[in-house]
Amino acid sequence: MNMGDNMISILMASYNGAGYVSAQIDSLLSQTCQNFKLYICDDMSTDDTYKILAEYQDKYPDKIFISQNSKNSGSAKFNFINLMINHKDDYLMLCDQDDVWLPDKIEITLAKMQELETLYGNSLPLLVHTDLKVVNENLETISESFVAAMNANYTKTKLRHQIIQNTLTGCTAMYNRALSDLITTNPPFMVMHDWWLMLVASAFGKIDSINNQTVLYRQHNLNEVGAKDVRTLEYKIRKVLNPQGIKQALNETYLQANSFKETFRSLLSDEQLEFLSCYCAIATRPKILKWISICRLRVFKNSLPRKIAQFLYI
């Protein structure tokens, strides 16, 4: 299926994915919408990943383009953000090396994106994302819905929602050129590339989501970030009993908020700058004043266990 003349760039960061990357690329080549080019940057893999990618590029020279970093970037987020900085197109999608895309992923995501552009115009930064099906290493279903397993709330799209908790799984995202044009430099600090993208979208544009599961989200022992079923009692207990992990995660949100403020200072409204300054200041305050600040700014974690942990260990 060809949906107009708009071109999509799919950005994949690869590293030691020899066991999975072929299945992912094959799922892209089986999409109902083929109006895309695939750009893959390999992060100095030590297995056969690059060899496999080169074979695909030889077979599809007009569709698949591979490059390799001169040295390992240290994390998938750095590999991805560089791809996002270097590639601009009408629409862009992020792609993990170890998932499998369901056949109509591009088609239904693009349809939603074009629906938003009809409403808001294509000069507004726009981001669309979807649900996922969580699977194991052999693509056997663990959870029919990532949103349900994570107790996620995709309706919370304001900056104050995203500053404390990311609700984007990058491999489901499509964003337009107007949003892409705001991703021009490596942030001084970011927790993850998809969280950074979500912050930009929430501050300057519109975000919408689709309930469909469009990706088989493969979980294995090499995942850098994965899915956890937050509905289980075990997860809730572990969350509340992990003060160091929670404190570190909260501190990283302050660092990222400050990084975001400094990167986009000239584009942010006075109200947004005031909000970010107040949020960053939470880190230096006594606990009682931290509680007051998060209530005043209304920056709450999603779900009761996360809120309890936030208030306990802030």
pLDDT at residue number 312: 84
Q: Are 268 and 291 in contact (CB under 8 A)?
A: no
Residue 193, C-beta contacts closer than 8 angstroms, at least 6 positions apart: 76, 77, 78, 80, 81, 84, 94, 170
**Structure-block tokens of residue 74:** 């240290």
pLDDT at residue number 240: 55
In the chain, where does DSSP find H-type helix? Answer: 21-29, 49-59, 76-86, 105-120, 146-150, 159-162, 177-180, 193-204, 233-240, 243-263, 270-281, 287-297, 304-313
pLDDT higher than 90, residue 161: yes
pLDDT higher than 60, residue 1: no
DSSP annotation of 300: -
pLDDT higher than 80, residue 99: yes
Cα(256)–Cα(7) distance, rounded to whole angstroms? 32
pLDDT tens digit string along 277-294? 999 999 999 999 999 999
pLDDT at residue number 230: 47
First to last CA, the chain: 50
β pairing state of 64-68 and 91-96 = unpaired
pLDDT at residue number 222: 63
pLDDT tens digit string along 30-72? 999 999 999 999 999 999 999 999 999 999 999 999 999 999 9
pLDDT tens digit string along 5-14? 679 999 999 9
The three-point CA angle 161-171-59 to 5° equals: 160
**Structure-block tokens of residue 182:** 């705001």
Q: Which of 93, 171, 165 is nearest to 132 (CA)?
A: 171
pLDDT higher than 60, residue 227: no
**Structure-block tokens of residue 68:** 């390799």
Q: What rounded mean pLDDT belongs to the chain?
A: 92
C-alpha separations of 197 from 119, 141, 203, 241 in Å: 21, 28, 10, 30
Cα(76)–Cα(85) distance, rounded to whole angstroms? 14
Mean pLDDT to the nearest integer, 215-231 = 69
pLDDT higher than 70, residue 232: no
Q: Tokens 């995202």 label which residue?
A: 173
